[in-house]
Structure 1
Amino acid sequence: MAIAQHRITEVFVEIADSLTDDFDIIDLLQRLSERCVELLDVSAAGILLVDQYDELQILAASDENTRLLEIFALQHDQGPCIECHRSGQARTDIDLTTTAALDRWPSFTARARRSGFARTHAVPLRLRQRVVGALNLFDQRPGTFTAADQLLAQALADIATIAILQQRTLQQSQLERVQLQTALDTRIVIEQAKGILAERWRTSMDDAFTVLRNHARSNRLRMSDLARQVVDGTIDTDTVLRGLDITPGDAGFPPAPTPG
């Protein structure tokens, strides 16, 4: 491995410093694919990631030629990268000039050769037993992928995995915060609607809530939407009672006052 140790350290520090609260995952992985080419002395690199349906998608590539090759591999469901993701095991030192490679992955190998590549390697994006994708390396030159090369490639793949999972955790955390705030806001509106109905119908808050909920269910409305209509004054609250065949004096409601 010809690359200097200090340069490897610099790259890892660079990637680690990029993992801020609002980092751009696409930009980070694009830079990581370019650093793989530099540190591992290969011709190209690509990063595949599984989507929510557990299907592999191309997320980053060091150049357009490699991106198109990765897309081709996904479309034909062939190549060491596909097998690497499925097995969770690295596939290294694949000589694309051999008949063995052509027999095993005919479409992928033929396309890779036309793209000028002579060998390829794939290492999993894996955290413990969880595999979320694969890092793919391509070289136009014959040669051997050393044990040190494989260790470095796996370390770079691990960095990519950490970045991806951190981004997903941040997104999930943000989604949960939004959902929580929405729930809190919705509850406030419902409480306001209960107060309006309880005062208008001169009944308890519990009875007002029961009628509000039953009307929403009977009309297949979200209670939050119905409550908003009550608060905004865009619904005749008498229709809520009529729709449930409730009149003052029923279901805990006091009788209407007698005109005096």
Structure 2
Amino acid sequence: MSREQRLAEVFVELADTLVDEFDVIDLLHTLCERSVELLQADAAGLILADQRSMLHVMASTTEEAKLLELFVLQNDEGPCLDCYSTGQQMVNIDLNEVEERWPRFRAATIAAGYQSTHAIPLRLRGQVLGALNLFCADRTTLGDADVALGQALCDIATVGLLQERTVRQGALLAEQLQSALNSRIMLEQAKGVLSERAGINVNDAFTLIRAYARRNRQQLHAVAGAIIDGTITSSDLT
């Protein structure tokens, strides 16, 4: 498959938000995964603001990326926060060159095995919903075309979030994001429960949960709740 064909598939995948089964959490995880794939990153994490403008980690491709994003929020330091506050891209950041600007973020990210990072806003006109952070094991440089592609992927996801508001007959975006946050918390609990019950790591647990949800056309939060209360067992997923 050519790169052009793959790009077309990804854009269709991210734009398909008008179906009844549209799942916000799944959309955000898909954005992270496709950004890693197409922009040659090694991991990604995504933060969104709730109705009180508090930022939360909503999706990541690895547990390490999630922990780094949590570290950013807890320490109020890092390029994705600058990206969110300004609405501007923060790309091609060599971590060896930013010790004075983000010392704690730099140390934590290098300790996790990354040498460069990029942050791209989820924005529509003057409204910024969050930011996507890409982590690279090497000193990776994104060209203008790659930056434009990353922004296009984020823009499509942003439109999807806003479209969901319209589909729900004018419900406030902040309320919709809060609902997504609640779903994400339940999903994290379910990942931990399944990881312990099945003896697998949390990344594999999420893969099983997501595959089950898609296979049975259920939303992630519904599957997560059933795992937590025991209605769905680890054998059902595997």
Q: 1:104 aligns with which of 101, 106, 109?
A: 101
Pairwise CA RMSD: 1.7
Q: Which residue of 1 aligns with 2:80?
A: 81
Cα contact 1:29–1:47 (8 A) shared by 2: yes
Q: Which residue of 1 aligns with 2:31?
A: 32
Q: Which residue of 1 aligns with 2:67?
A: 68
- What TM-score do the two structures reach when normalised by structure 2? 0.68
- What TM-score do the two structures reach when normalised by structure 1? 0.62
- Which is higher, the Rg of structure 1 or of structure 2? 1
Cα distance in 2 for partners of 1:94, 1:52 equals: 30
Q: Which secondary structure state, in structure 1, belongs to the residue aligned with residue 57 of structure 2?
A: strand
Cα contact 1:21–1:170 (8 A) shared by 2: no
Cα contact 2:17–2:163 (8 A) shared by 1: no
Cα contact 2:18–2:167 (8 A) shared by 1: no
One-letter code aligned to 1:44 = A
Where structure 2 has 5 or more consecutive residues not aligned to the other structure, the ranges are 173-238
Q: 1:157 aligns with which of 139, 142, 154?
A: 154
Question: How far apart are residue 169 of structure 1 and its match?
Answer: 3.5
Q: Which secondary structure state, in structure 2, belongs to the residue aligned with residue 45 of structure 1?
A: strand
Q: Which residue of 2 aligns with 1:13?
A: 12
One-letter code aligned to 1:153 = G
Q: Which secondary structure state, in structure 1, belongs to the residue aligned with residue 38 of structure 2?
A: helix
Provide closer, same or farther for how the CA distance between residues 174 and 52 of structure 1 changes in structure 2, counting only shifts above 3 A. Answer: closer
Cα contact 1:47–1:134 (8 A) shared by 2: yes
Cα contact 1:125–1:132 (8 A) shared by 2: yes
Number of residue-to-residue matches in the alignment: 171
Q: 1:139 aligns with which of 136, 140, 144?
A: 136
Larger relative contact order, structure 1 or 2 (CA cutoff 8 Å, min sep 6): 2
Cα distance in 2 for partners of 1:110, 1:168 equals: 39
Q: Which runs of 4+ in 1 moved over 6 A?
A: none
Cα distance in 1 for partners of 2:44, 2:132 equals: 7
Question: How far apart are residue 19 of structure 1 and its match?
Answer: 3.7
